[in-house]
């Protein structure tokens, strides 16, 4: 973990020396059957190492963004944590590790179904507590899965795909403010998009 944190810090140095905003992404996979408590401990430890390394390398934190996951039990855990438990654990970890100088935290969907990712983001923003950072999304699969399903590679489906993308973007925009009220659920949006050992 320490070596990974140092690699992230060196990457941040290169970015800032070249006028770029480093996106700090200590990717912790949700694969496995671990509990919420273990996930919370591992994430807290990793983020502590990362921000120590960033301080050691004199990174200008106001010029960074943190890209991280929601704290939750492992994908194959026998006790899946609730959205409320995820939000509380996520905020505890962030409050204990992320300096207030960091302007924004972007959440990964981590294989959650589209609706679940949006609901997790919404709950993090609705949960009471100090949140000195903007808490928003950087979803991949949870933002384009049903869009690709609507499009199916056909020109005539482009308007439908655009409509679906707009719905998802609006839903996640509202969730970033903690005021998502829900939209019509779709079978695609409810389906898990988790892929074990997923890599881009």
For 85-111, write each residue's pLDDT tens digit.
999 999 999 999 999 999 999 999 988
Q: Quick check: 30 and 110 in contact, CB under 8 A? A: yes
**Which residue, chain included where needed, has tokens 């200590």?**
26
What are the sequence ranges of the domains in the chain?
A: 1-177
Alpha carbon separation from 171 to 70, 166, 174 (Å, rounded): 18, 8, 5
Task: Write down how long the chain is.
Answer: 200
pLDDT at 188 over 70: no
Q: What is the predicted pLDDT for the residue at 32?
A: 73
Strand order in the sheet with 134-137: 23-24, 65-68, 104-107, 134-137
pLDDT band per the 50, 70, 90 thresholds, residue 187: very low
* pTM: predicted TM-score of the whole model, two decimal places: 0.87
H/E segment holding residue 147: helix 141-151
Lowest-pLDDT range of 77-81, 116-120, 127-131: 77-81
In this structure, CATH architecture of domain 1-177: Alpha-Beta Barrel (3.20)
Q: What is the predicted pLDDT for the residue at 43?
A: 96
Catalytic residues: 25, 67
């Amino acid at each position: 973990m320490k070596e990974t944190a140092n690699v992230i810090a060196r990457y941040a140095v290169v970015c800032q020396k070249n006028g770029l905003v480093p996106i700090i992404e200590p990717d912790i996979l949700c694969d496995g059957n671990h509990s919420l408590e273990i996930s919370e401990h591992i994430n807290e430890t990793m983020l502590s190492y990362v921000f120590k390394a960033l301080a050691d390398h004199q990174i200008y934190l106001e010029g960074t963004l943190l890209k991280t996951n929601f704290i939750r039990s492992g994908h194959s855990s026998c006790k899946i944590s609730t959205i409320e438990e995820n939000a509380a654990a996520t905020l505890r970890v962030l409050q204990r590790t992320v300096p207030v100088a960091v302007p924004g935290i972007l959440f990964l969907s981590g294989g959650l179904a589209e609706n679940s990712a949006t609901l997790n983001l919404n709950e993090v923003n609705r949960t009471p507590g100090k949140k000195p950072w903007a808490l928003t999304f950087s979803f991949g699969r949870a933002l384009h899965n049903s869009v690709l399903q609507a499009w199916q590679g056909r020109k005539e489906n482009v308007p439908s795909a655009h409509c679906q993308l707009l719905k998802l973007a609006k839903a996640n925009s509202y969730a970033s403010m903690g005021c998502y009220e829900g939209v019509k659920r779709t079978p695609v949006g409810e389906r898990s998009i988790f892929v074990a050992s997923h890599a881009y």
